[in-house]
Chain A
Amino acid sequence: NAGVTQTPKFRVLKTGQSMTLLCAQDMNHEYMYWYRQDPGMGLRLIHYSVGEGTTAKGEVPDGYNVSRLKKQNFLLGLESAAPSQTSVYFCASSYRAPSGQPQHFGDGTRLSIL
C-alpha cells in the first residue's frame, strides 16, 4: 500500500529559483493538504483542497501556490524561493470530514534554500 507519496524527498535550491513539490495518494481521498514544519514546532497548514479543481488558503499561504488538477495529485509550487521557506513539507489526505476520518501523511520533502 503506497498511501501518500511525496516527491522529491530532498532538494536544495538557490534563492529565487522555482520548484514544484508533488503529492500523490492512492486512497481515493477527497481532501488533500500541504503543511510545513520548522525545527521544534508542530505542523502548520499552507493550503488545502476539498476536491478536484478546488484549493483554499491555510495558516501560512504566502509565497506558495497549489493546484489540484487530478483527484489523486496535489502540487505545491514555490515561484521564487526564499531562505525563510527552508523547511520540511508534508502532504496529507483524508476522506470527507464529517465522519471524523483522520488525515494520512506522507514522509515529507526536506527543502533547503540557500
Chain B
Amino acid sequence: DAKTTQPPSMDCAEGRAANLPCNHSTISGNEYVYWYRQIHSQGPQYIIHGLKNNETNEMASLIITEDRKSSTLILPHATLRDTAVYYCIVRTSGTYKYIFGTGTRLKVLA
C-alpha cells in the first residue's frame, strides 16, 4: 500500500472552506484514496473516497490531481463540529488493509 503524507495540524475559520492536502506520490493505478475523520477518539467516520475522478457528496469534495500523486479534501463551509483528526488512506483494490498514518488535526475556529 502506498504511504501518505499529511500536515500534522491546520486551522480554519468557521464558515470558510477547509482544504486538507495529502501526498501519495507512490500510488499505483488501482489504489483508491479514502478520507476518514475521528472526533474525540470516537470510531473513524467515513467521509469520501475516489480512484481517479473528483468526487463530491453531502459531506465533502475530493480533488485528485491528474497524476494521482496528491489529493485534497474540501469541507466547503467548516463548522465547529468539523474539528477532528482527518486521515488520508490509500488502499489497493482487492486488498483488505488500511494503513493509517497520524493524520491532520483540523481545528475550526469561531
* Number of B positions contacting A (CB below 8 A): 22
Binary contact track B33-73/A, C-beta < 8 Å → 1, others 0: 01000000111111001010000000000000000000000
Among the stretches A11-19, A60-68, A77-85, A97-105, the one at the interface with B is A97-105
Distance from B85 Cβ to chain A, minimum over Cβ atoms (Å): 9
Distance from A1 Cβ to chain B, minimum over Cβ atoms (Å): 14
Distance from B37 Cβ to chain A, minimum over Cβ atoms (Å): 11
Contact A31 B101 (CB under 8 A): no
Contact A107 B97 (CB under 8 A): no
Contact B96 A43 (CB under 8 A): no
> Of all chain A residues, which has the CB nearest B42?
A107
Q: Which of B32, B43, B45 contacts A100 (CB 8 A)?
A: B32
Q: Which of B32, B43, B91, B102 contacts A42 (CB 8 A)?
A: B102
> Of all chain A residues, which has the CB nearest B97?
A45
Count, A-B residue pairs, CB within 8 A: 56
A31 to B5, CA, bound (A): 27
A31 to B93, CA, bound (A): 14
Q: Which residues of A contact B101 (CB under 8 A)?
A: 42
A22 to B14, CA, bound (A): 39
Q: Which residues of A contact B45 (CB under 8 A)?
A: 105
Distance from B27 Cβ to chain A, minimum over Cβ atoms (Å): 14
Complex A-B: 9 CB contacts under 8 Å = A35-B100, A42-B100, A42-B102, A97-B93, A98-B94, A100-B32, A102-B34, A102-B49, A108-B43
Across the A-B interface, give the 3 residue pairs with the lowest CB-CB distance, nearest first. Answer: A42-B100, A105-B43, A43-B100
